[in-house]
C-alpha cells in the first residue's frame, strides 16, 4: 500500500505578484531548513527532507542498479475540475484535467502547474515531483502500480495561503502492512509533527519513492530553465488505460460468445513520449 506523510512549513515572508490576470504568490522559506535539521534526533541519515529538489534523487542514482533511465509511472491526482500542466521545453504544455499519468525518470524533478482550483479560480500553484525510487511491478503491470501523487484541495489552499507543503510518498513495509484491501477514496496520509523530518519518518515506515513539494512560488525574473529544472523528459500515458492486467478468462463455448462485444486494449509501448 502506498501512503504519504505531510510536512507543513509557514513561510517567513510572502509577497504577492500579478502576472496578467493571474495572481501568483512568491514564497520565501528563510531559516526553516536549518531549524528543522537542528531538531533531528541523533540518527545520521544520509538524506533529509529539507534538502533541495533533486539532491536526494541524484544521490539515489549513484547507487546504480535498475534506476538510471527508468521511467516510473506516476499518477497525478487532484480535486475535480483542477487542470494539470507538465513542463516541456521550459514551458507548460496544454492543461489537462486530473488525473494525469506520466512516466518520470528516477532522480529528476518535474515542475507542474495546477489551475482552475475551486474557490480560487485565477490562482496558480506550481508543485514539484521528485522521483527517488521505483516500484518493482509484475511484468506488464507497470501502469497498474503507478505511484499516486495526490494534490488535495486542502494542500492547494494551504499553498495559496502562503504555506509550503511537503509530502513524502512511500511504500508501506509489507511486514507491517495489514492484509486488507484499501477502500478509502483518497490516499492515506498523516502529518509529521513539528521538528520531524518527513523523509526520516517515511523511511522508518517503509520505502520512500517520491517527494511532492507544493507552493505557489514564481521567480522574480519569470519562468526560466532553473524554475523548470531543465524540463526533464517524460512519457505520457492515458489517464485510465485499458490494459489487460489479469490473465485472460477461460475460453467460453462458441454458443455463449454470440452477442458479446469486446473492448480494445493498448500496450504499454503504445504511449506518447515527450522530449
Quote the pLDDT of residue 129: 96
Residue 48 pLDDT > 50, yes or no?
yes
Q: What does the block give as the cell for 6?
A: 505531510
Q: Give 40's DSSP letter.
A: -
Domain boundaries, the chain: 2-239
Q: Strand locations in the chain, DSSP E?
A: 2-10, 13-19, 22-28, 71-77, 83-88, 91-92, 96-97, 100-105, 109-115, 128-131, 147-150, 163-172, 189-191, 206-214, 234-237, 272-274
147-173 pLDDT per residue, tens = 999 999 999 999 998 888 889 998 887
Q: How far is CA 236 from CA 76, 96, 100, 102, in A?
A: 12, 12, 9, 5
Which grid cell sits at 156?
A: 492547494
| pTM as predicted | 0.67
pLDDT 10s digits, 97-130: 999 999 999 999 999 999 999 999 889 999 999 9
Q: What is the pLDDT of residue 40?
A: 43
pLDDT band at 30 (very low <50, low <70, confident <90, very high): very low
Radius of gyration of the chain (CA): 20
Give the pLDDT confidence of 179-216 residue by residue, as tens digits: 666 666 566 655 666 777 777 777 778 888 999 998 76
Amino acid at each position: 500500500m502506498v501512503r504519504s506523510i505531510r510536512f507543513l512549513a509557514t513561510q517567513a515572508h510572502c509577497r504577492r505578484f500579478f502576472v496578467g490576470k493571474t495572481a501568483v504568490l512568491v514564497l520565501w522559506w528563510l531559516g526553516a531548513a536549518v531549524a528543522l535539521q537542528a531538531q533531528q534526533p541523533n540518527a545520521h541519515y544520509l538524506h533529509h527532507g529539507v534538502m533541495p529538489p533533486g539532491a536526494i534523487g541524484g544521490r539515489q542514482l549513484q547507487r546504480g542498479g535498475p534506476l538510471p533511465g527508468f521511467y516510473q509511472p506516476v499518477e497525478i491526482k487532484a480535486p475535480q475540475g483542477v487542470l494539470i500542466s507538465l513542463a516541456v521545453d521550459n514551458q507548460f504544455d496544454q492543461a489537462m484535467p486530473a488525473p494525469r499519468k506520466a512516466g518520470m525518470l528516477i532522480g529528476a524533478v518535474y515542475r507542474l502547474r495546477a489551475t482552475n482550483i475551486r474557490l480560487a479560480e485565477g490562482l496558480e500553484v506550481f508543485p514539484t515531483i521528485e522521483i527517488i525510487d521505483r516500484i518493482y511491478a509484475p511484468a506488464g503491470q507497470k501502469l497498474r502500480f503507478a505511484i499516486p501523487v495526490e494534490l488535495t484541495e486542502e494542500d492547494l489552499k494551504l499553498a495559496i495561503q502562503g504555506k509550503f507543503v511537503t509530502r513524502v510518498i512511500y511504500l508501506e513495509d509489507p511486514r507491517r502492512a495489514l492484509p486488507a484491501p484499501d477502500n478509502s477514496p483518497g490516499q492515506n496520509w498523516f502529518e509529521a509533527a513539528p521538528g520531524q523530518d518527513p523523509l526520516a519518518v517515511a523511511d522508518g515506515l517503509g520505502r520512500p519513492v517520491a517527494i511532492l513539494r507544493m507552493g505557489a512560488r514564481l521567480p522574480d525574473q519569470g519562468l526560466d530553465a532553473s524554475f523548470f529544472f531543465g524540463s526533464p523528459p517524460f512519457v505520457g500515458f492515458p489517464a485510465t488505460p485499458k490494459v489487460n492486467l489479469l490473465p485472460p478468462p477461460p475460453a467460453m463455448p462458441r454458443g455463449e460468445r454470440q452477442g458479446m462485444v469486446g473492448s480494445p486494449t493498448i500496450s504499454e509501448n503504445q504511449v506518447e513520449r515527450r522530449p
